[in-house]
Structure 1
């Protein structure tokens, strides 16, 4: 667990640095000095922007919520990636193969097109519902019966459902300029403009999902030995897989709803932890959550400074970094069971 503790220290330092980075960079001391005032500004509606200085308003309104969301989304995607790689025994799997991004996108484009939501906080619960429906559909399609689902059929069903849903998303986007305008902001994967209302909508779901993820470590350690061996040792494999799919849906759905589709976090974070801490999922899952949070924070900070005074979407930064990493992983290993 020493590796996890060291990563937590790195995460804490990265979060503090995130409070100083924006269209202009402030000193760490100045930013930390204003955090209590920023929290008071957020929690007390009687305090107006004129009652505090500009940096306090900036931190409380934008940087602090953005930092919290980056940590939550990265942790959720990292843990979800570890779980789906464990269940599929595929080191190149990530939450997207379960249709997480496609389910969230279909739900978001629907609520935008029907006028049911106009802000990121309004996307969260519809997107999670879309992910849940897609997860259930994939499980049903991949099983001829309650016990027949296996990693290969789950992946194939996920790819097929994702293709169908993305066709629907493209149809909706092309049918309305208003939908196109709102979807392009969400679909790039960015935390720009996210405020505390998105944090309060997302945090409970991701926190519950992380707790559920931690409880699955013993089962995933047994599944790593093979499903036949795991079942012979008394593990209810189907029940564990259903819980795993539900957990991935919660974590990936909430993170995708809040930040938009983010590539490679769920792929890279578990690989980092296997390299640093070995194959034990009791370390991989919490470590992947922390590593995912660090990756997301760094990508968000890089996006803020790479195109100053504008910014580059975090999803674009992750893609620029993630594509070479993915190619390297493919070249270094054959896709075999973990």
Structure 2
């Protein structure tokens, strides 16, 4: 039952995948503009150029695909960060990825008056990458090398530094504040499919790498000493996990801005439902991450209709109670 051909786990994956597809369909159909399943079907099979068909093809379909891809990426990155740092509250932001991307975007807004979403994408990806590489470098300084504690501390320090810089810039530039505020809250609204396409190859590479190293993560989860004793190249694996986090979390932030909590809560839910074997945990967490972000985005359309709540706010509303539960449970265990 613990092998790769585990029928109960396969069944869970299949059911979860079907639910994800269902939510993608709901995301395409539901919204402020009244549409139906039939209208959505006709938009792809018999496009007539109507306003409803245009909205379905150019707004809702990209939005649904972006939410599914970003949710999956953040969840998988969260699984690896929690395993690597042995911190149940770790998420992609622990590498300073969110803070680095935010600082890069706000800096470009302030000093270069750039407002293009496509430019934001690459600037935020660059900022996220530089921040993560810096955390790895700082965390690896010292005799003990890159330990989970040093990585966590380096990430927290760099996050605080970049966040302070970002807030400092925004307090002195009201125009940048107005432009950056919606992006900083995290949103899939208004994102074009071209923006996802520009980083999608990097997300795919991250997903493939995550699946390839999944068996090795089962070993390193037992501790670095055990992993080294079994012949695992721990240093190389940690670098690979860092690359995965940069590709998945950096690409996600580049497309949708910093969206929190998915990388924290989904790995815990996935472990409860499917176990700790990363061969199953990684794809299952990816599916659940896509489901959560899609559900949050659909809900964001109705709370203050006709206006919309940024999906980052919705994930915070959903994730905060579970985050508190995880934190309290961890404290009681300690």
Q: TM-score range, shorter-chain basis?
A: over 0.9
CA contact (8 A) 1:146 1:238 kept: no
Give 1:29's match in structure 2, choosing from 34, 38, 41.
38
CA contact (8 A) 1:91 1:336 kept: no
Normalised by the length of structure 1, the TM-score is 0.92
User: How far apart are the structure 2 equivalents of 1:185 and 1:91?
Assistant: 29
The aligned residue for residue 125 of structure 1 is: 122
Q: CA deviation at 1:116?
A: 6.7
1:177 aligns with 2:186: no
User: How far apart are the structure 1 equivalents of 2:205 and 2:332?
Assistant: 31
CA contact (8 A) 2:39 2:53 kept: no
1:195 aligns with 2:192: yes
Structure 1 segments unaligned to the other structure (5+ residues): 39-50
For residues 109-162 of structure 1, give each alpha carbon's deviation from its aligned partner in whole angstroms, at most 9, with x where no partner exists. 122223374122211222111111111111111122596111111000000001
Give 1:53's match in structure 2, choosing from 44, 50, 54.
50
Give 2:15's match in structure 1, choosing from 6, 12, 26.
6
1:313 aligns with 2:322: no
1:281 aligns with 2:282: no
User: How far apart are the structure 2 equivalents of 1:61 and 1:308?
Assistant: 20
- Pairs within 5 Å for 1:299-338: 299-334=296-331
Q: CA deviation at 1:35?
A: 2.7
- In structure 1, the residue corresponding to 2:76 is in which secondary structure? helix
Root-mean-square deviation (CA, aligned residues, Å) is: 1.8
Q: Between Structure 1 and Structure 2, how many residues are aligned? A: 325
Q: CA deviation at 1:29?
A: 2.4
- In structure 1, the residue corresponding to 2:29 is in which secondary structure? coil
Residues 212, 308 of structure 1: CA spacing in aligned structure 2 closer, same or farther, 3 A cutoff? same
1:111 aligns with 2:108: yes
- In structure 2, the residue corresponding to 1:19 is in which secondary structure? helix
CA contact (8 A) 1:90 1:335 kept: no
Q: CA deviation at 1:318?
A: 0.7
The aligned residue for residue 210 of structure 1 is: 207
The aligned residue for residue 134 of structure 2 is: 137
CA contact (8 A) 1:76 1:206 kept: yes
Normalised by the length of structure 2, the TM-score is 0.93
Structure 2 segments unaligned to the other structure (5+ residues): 1-9
User: How far apart are the structure 2 equivalents of 1:128 and 1:266?
Assistant: 18
Residues 126, 147 of structure 1: CA spacing in aligned structure 2 closer, same or farther, 3 A cutoff? farther
For residues 182-215 of structure 1, give each alpha carbon's deviation from its aligned partner in whole angstroms, at most 9, with x where no partner exists. 1111011111211122122232221111111111
Q: CA deviation at 1:269?
A: 1.3
CA contact (8 A) 1:19 1:64 kept: yes
For residues 278-326 of structure 1, give each alpha carbon's deviation from its aligned partner in whole angstroms, at most 9, with x where no partner exists. 1100011111111101100000000011111111110111111111111
- In structure 2, the residue corresponding to 1:257 is in which secondary structure? helix
Give 1:77's match in structure 2, choosing from 74, 78, 97.
74
User: How far apart are the structure 1 equivalents of 2:44 and 2:174?
Assistant: 40
Residues 296, 315 of structure 1: CA spacing in aligned structure 2 closer, same or farther, 3 A cutoff? same
The aligned residue for residue 44 of structure 1 is: none
The aligned residue for residue 7 of structure 2 is: none
Residues 244, 336 of structure 1: CA spacing in aligned structure 2 closer, same or farther, 3 A cutoff? farther
